[in-house]
Amino acid sequence: MPLLKHFKSNNQKQIIVWRMEEEFLEYQSIPEIREIKHSSRRKEKIAVLYLLANFFDEVELSYDDQGKPQLSNSNKFISISHSNAILAVGIGNNDFGLDIEKLTHKAVRISKKFIHDNDFRIVESMSESFHKTLIWSAKEAIFKKYSQREHLIFKKQIAVESIDEAGQLLNVKIEFSDGSVRNEKLSYCSIDDFILVYSN
């Protein structure tokens, strides 16, 4: 079953996690799709269009100058992420960011590139791979949310200050280059061997 998770968060946003298996042949002839050279990128775009039409009743997808997706004929906001063959799409009444990452050792290997001095330290119940992937995914979600405002640097400007395992919540502090500071609360969950994080 391609649909892995479909839920609403606080009635503010709807999120779908989908395994990209089908070819959706009816979309292959769309000029915009035919122009995409990379097969995995083409498959992702088709899956996004399918989900928008069949789960969200939205079809007008475009991208701003920063590459952030937007719904052209709607006052709602969209966020998209994919990892391997898994796609996550969310639509909400307020701007937000989401990210999905496969749980691997990769985040541990590259952690020096994105771990902030104030990032929450690992707890005994978490593996290092889970902890680092969760931190990375949270920063990706924040980066996407604020991409129109500023190109945030993970290691210097975004800190995951606490992790509430029971509530599956993250408290994140963002320091913008103009000196302003913002605190965000994010939610997370595990889906098979993937971690989904989304801002509230």
Is 36 buried (19+), middle (13-18) or exposed (0-12) by CB count in 10 A? Answer: middle
Of 65, 96, 127, at which residue does a domain stop?
96
Number of structural domains found in the chain: 2
Looking at the fold, whether 104 and 193 belong to one and the same domain comes out as: yes
Looking at the fold, whether 86 and 163 belong to one and the same domain comes out as: no
Looking at the fold, whether 44 and 116 belong to one and the same domain comes out as: no
Looking at the fold, whether 110 and 195 belong to one and the same domain comes out as: yes
Looking at the fold, whether 144 and 67 belong to one and the same domain comes out as: no
Could you tell me if 6 and 90 are in contact, meaning their C-beta atoms sit under 8 angstroms apart? Answer: no
pTM attached to this predicted model: 0.92
Low-confidence spans in the chain with pLDDT less than 50: none
pLDDT of residue 111: 95
Sign for the pseudo-dihedral over CA of 181, 179, 175, 67: positive
Closest-CA residue to 48 (of 65, 31, 64, 60): 60
pLDDT of residue 136: 97
User: What confidence tens digit (pLDDT) does each residue in 36-77 have?
Assistant: 888 888 889 899 999 998 888 766 888 888 788 999 888 899
